[in-house]
Amino acid sequence: MAQIAQLEFKFDIKSSAEGFYQIFKCKPYIFPKLCPNLIKDCQLINGNWDSVGSVRKWIYVSGGNSSEFHTEKILAIDEKNKSVTCEMLEGGFTKLYKSYKYTVQALDKAEGGCTVKSAIEYEKQSEDVPPPNMYAEMGCVIYKDIDTYLINN
């Protein structure tokens, strides 16, 4: 029987926590411009870009050149802690995982820049399914691209 598991990872960037958080929370529609080799589109299906309960659809490249999609719902936004929590509703992730939630938090560093802390909570469809390491790696690429954008703009 599959159990809920968690995968956590951190990624340091040069940008401020507030800058990263605002882009991640409010402007995911610019991700295709920031990461064109990875994210093809981000559409607002329901609600607002930065509101709890809103639903967004992502079209992204997975496993080479094939495109996949997923829809996600924003479960929580914590302004004080600069974090966003989302749950996958349908699409690529649901083929592998019964449930898949992630939280992204931006933490200021004393020496400048910030640490992006991510936690993925998931339940596999079967024991043969690997942990979502590939999606963690994709997250790090996206965080780096957001950082580059913030540094240059």
In terms of DSSP H, where are the helices of 27-87? 31-34
pLDDT of residue 2: 58
pLDDT band for position 63 (50/70/90)?
low
Distance from first CA to last CA of the chain, Å, rounded?
A: 48
**Please, what are the domains in the chain?**
4-35+77-152 (3.30.530.20)
pLDDT band for position 67 (50/70/90)?
confident
**8 Å CB contact between 32 and 42:** yes
The structure's pTM equals: 0.93
Phi first, then psi, for residue 36 (nearest 5°) are -65, -25
Distance between CA atoms of residues 19 and 4, nearest Å: 32
Percent pLDDT > 70 in the chain is: 97
